[in-house]
Amino acid sequence: MTYSEKALIFCISVNLKFILVHINFQSKRKEGNICGKKPTYSVRMRASRNAPHEQGGKHISGGERLITYSGLQEAVDGLLHKGFSHSRGIPDFMQIQLESINEPIETIRPLPVAFHQSDTPEKGQAIARKLLQKAGIPPHMIEKAYENIAEYAEARGAVLFDIRAGERIDGRGNRGVRVSRMDWPSHDFQKWAFTHNMPENSRIKEAHAIAAKVCAHPGIIAELCWSDDPDYITGYVAAKKLGYQRIAKMKNAGDESGCRIFFTDGSIDTESCIHFLEKQPVFIQREENI
């Protein structure tokens, strides 16, 4: 037997092992265990350090997927890997929750994109303030929100800021509001990233998916956001009127404080807004596919 034939047999045996594991996981679907309509699952991950979040642990990472049964293992592995790959540190607690989605899934288009160069956080934040004003938020209310940004950064999730009352209204304290149950099918995102000359990575995909879902709520005027990842200094302002306005530098490298504020127009029913953000399942999809 030639060397290449021996090597071939070895490779085939290794492949078979992976294929058998894969088939086994898939066969559950075909065996009728998952009969009829293909269920879609919301998969959510949160990771923290020193304790679970609810016991005051430091937030390390989070992630969301909306995926059919056949993609579950890959989604769970991806979130497991994401949780252990964040520059905020190695978690000593992680929770991955799966829930099947029983209500209709809404399809939302990604926001148009623009980019603003800024070589200092001050310039970046100045651009953000102008964009928020352009979105329709009165300057004095923008300043009021900015005054509380350090406090709002303590929340794990986002905060809702009412631009009429000039105050935070979500009532969620350190937990904040976690935008959840949304995803952007990879094939569609890849085409979008190619067309818009955007980096094809999960951070961009997740940020744009969140912004599109948030801006789809009728009572949310704009979102101001930059990451709590000390290695990631780019942020954005997103609004129905403006689309997704990326701003190159919104903080200094090494800074672990982030920001996620949803500016609401004073007309919303807070609980139903939070329900939409946390519970309404949403797929992001480019116009061509709808």
Residue 181 per-residue DSSP state:
S
The CA distance from 132 to 146, in Å, is 12
Nearer to a copy of itself, 93 or 236 (CB): 93
Nearer to a copy of itself, 63 or 219 (CB): 63
Least Cβ distance, residue 80 to a copy of itself (angstroms): 6
The CA distance from 141 to 49, in Å, is 35
Beta-bridge partners for 61: 47
Least Cβ distance, residue 256 to a copy of itself (angstroms): 16
For residue 72, how far is the Cα from the chain centroid?
18
- How crowded is residue 229: how many other Cβ atoms within 10 Å of its Cβ? 17
From first CA to last CA, the distance across the chain in angstroms is 55
Nearer to a copy of itself, 117 or 186 (CB): 186
Beta-bridge partners for 162: 167, 264
Residues that bind a copy of itself (CB under 8 A): 2, 4-5, 7-8, 11-12, 14-15, 18, 24-25, 28, 33-34, 39, 69, 72-73, 76-77, 80-81, 84-85, 90-100, 102
Least Cβ distance, residue 72 to a copy of itself (angstroms): 7
Residue 158 per-residue DSSP state:
B
Least Cβ distance, residue 93 to a copy of itself (angstroms): 5
Least Cβ distance, residue 288 to a copy of itself (angstroms): 29
Nearer to a copy of itself, 6 or 241 (CB): 6
Residue type at 153 in one-letter notation: A
Tokens 């509380």 belong to which residue? 148
Nearer to a copy of itself, 13 or 197 (CB): 13
Least Cβ distance, residue 200 to a copy of itself (angstroms): 17
DSSP-derived secondary structure for 35-75: -SS--EEEEEEEEEESS-GGGTPEEEEEEEEEEEGGGHHHH
Nearer to a copy of itself, 34 or 248 (CB): 34
Least Cβ distance, residue 15 to a copy of itself (angstroms): 6
Nearer to a copy of itself, 77 or 122 (CB): 77
**Residue 104 tokens, joined:** 């209709």
265-289 burial: b if 16+ Cβ within 10 Å, else e: eeebebeebbebbeebbbbbbeeee
